Amino acid sequence: MKSAKSYNNFFTRGLLLALGVALGGAVPLLAAASPPGKAPDFGPNVAVFDPAMPAAAIQAQIDKVYSVQQHNEFGPERNAFLFLPGEYKIDLPVGFYTEVVGLGASPDAVHITGNVHSDASLPHNNATCTFWRAAEGFSVTPTGGAVNGTMQWAVSQAIPFRRMHVLGSMVLHQNDGWASGGWMSDSLVDGNVGAGPQQQWISRNSQWGSWTGSNWNMVFVGVPSAPQGEWPRPAYTRVAETPVIREKPFLMVDAQHRWSVRVPALVHNAAGISWRSGETPGQSVPLSRFYIAHAGTDSAAALNAQLQAGKNLLFTPGIYELTEPIRVTRPDTIVMGLGFATLKPTQGTAAMTTADAHGIILAGLFFDAGPQVSPSLLEVGPAGSQSSDAGNPISLHDVFFRVGGAGVGRTRANLVINSNDTLIDHTWIWRADHGTGVGWIQNTSDNGLIVNGNNVTAYGLFVEHHQQYQVLWNGGGGRTYFYQSEIPYDPPDQADWRSTASTNGWASYKVADGVKAHEAWGLGIYSVFRHPDVVLTRAIEVPHTPEVRFHHMVTVALDNLGEITHIVDDAGDAAKPGTPGHPRVDPRITVFP
């Protein structure tokens, strides 16, 4: 976004200084760091809005960003809108690479009356490519859109919807058009949530007046108002409580205009929203303890020096080209991004590595593979990590990965988890099936996720199109709540895509043979083969032991080629084009409650 000099026409200089708004630069920024009066330098891609600003001025900035981001699926632009506590009346479309954040301690501190919406990015109401946008930490009374009083959130993957309060109803589609999945957590919807033709969805620790709609795989974890019905018709998986979770950290501004990052407390056996008493329990870290990074200015070496000096990191929106990994080594370090801040290795290294240290938090980061092959894009803990801290685990929130699409990208693995007890709280790990630099020998990636640590828990695991196992789980005691995966579209022939001499393809979800305990709930695995005579023998492969348990699985073969022959090992009917596979029970390895 470029300079908005016209703001001097809207306020007196005294009011601007009282509010602490920066008079220069790309967007007006409210000063609220410690000490009060010093404005955070968020750079040109962040707009900070105050309720005293005229609605027309706010709307102009929103419209300017959306004119770029509406169809900007693989563009370089990144944006964040930050709303200070108060009342707003606007039309807020959320486009690609755009994050909208309320800065209050509670979602109800920022209230928008109007039309907050995500629209299908393809013709004919098709939202299957509506990716990379976020709404977090505010309340909305929907008054616009196709149905008055209903918020339209037509989305698919990598769409955080967190700490939201909808004072009305919402739909997860556009005019009953196709959509391919999404995420909701720590959110309250007063009315109905209409899933419509959504293929799959995960809701964690949320509440609503009612829920309608099911398709292939709907998972509800820690949701007191989860809809009734038994798998597979409707395709509902209900888990009454979330066993362990730390909500995603968030920016906050208090009544004295002091900026901080709220770090929610770790909780066990949770149900419902965290802010039912007004605020999310936890601790606040002053923004002065963060180094605010800027793309094109801060090198990897400079950022590592800030980490070594004891700073946390806040990445402002942009693309950070990295000649070496960002190394997070100190316990309790917070590394978070705004506006889908993108980390891209350029020299065949990882983009980020962490120590095997308790309490590290990574949130709101987008990893994009570079043209040289990386061993991984993010490695959590070094190989052979042994420490365990279930009381203060490493946690990842809204951490996304892409290989190809915006250009050639190559990596062997995307996310490698070596540290025990790590929490994964929403991820999309995507080898691109369309865009630029896409092809079997162009955007190469063996695995999406490799888990070597023990007792790792994943909520909202979306992993797609990698060339071998999408997920390879080597650690014991793992748990997954919701899994969505399309296997690769583009194996050129069966001979080039076999995991063994007698096994066609690579299972989407593989639990290693030596694992004694693992459990997963709500798994959907799909094929969209583009070449004839290519099939997948097994969607899931697991060791046959009583403590390896899978609940509620479905396979679907789309388009007109190939099949998925079995769901788990050699159990389950084949999914053939036009005929969804049906879950089957193998008493040795599966449990269906």
Catalytic site positions: 486
Classify residue 182 by its DSSP letter: -
CB 335 within 8 A of CB 364: no
Query: Cα separation of 481 and 487, whole Å?
Result: 19
CB 217 within 8 A of CB 180: no
How many other C-beta atoms are found inside a 10 Å radius of the C-beta of residue 112? 24
**Residues 6 or more apart in contact with residue 55 via CB below 8 angstroms:** 88, 89, 90
Nearest to 62 by CA among 40, 85, 79: 79
CB 103 within 8 A of CB 83: yes
Q: Is 575 helix (H, G, I), strand (E, B) or coil?
A: strand
Quick one: which H or E segment has residue 363?
strand 361-368
**Residues 6 or more apart in contact with residue 515 via CB below 8 angstroms:** 473, 474, 475, 476, 478, 543, 545, 548
Quick one: residue 12, left, alpha or beta (phi over 0 = left, psi -120 to 50 = alpha)? beta
Q: Is 8 helix (H, G, I), strand (E, B) or coil?
A: helix
Kindly state the tokens that stand for 71: 């169809």
Residue with tokens 């193998």: 586
CB 344 within 8 A of CB 370: yes
Query: Cα separation of 279 and 388, whole Å?
Result: 30
Question: Each residue of 525-549: b (16+ CB within 10 Å) or e?
Answer: bbbbbebeebbbbbbbbbbebeebb
Cis peptide upstream of residue 281 (ω within 30 degrees of 0): no
Kindly state the tokens that stand for 553: 């699985």
In 5-148, alpha helices (H): 13-19, 55-69
Nearest to 421 by CA among 475, 364, 352, 351: 475
CB 56 within 8 A of CB 79: no
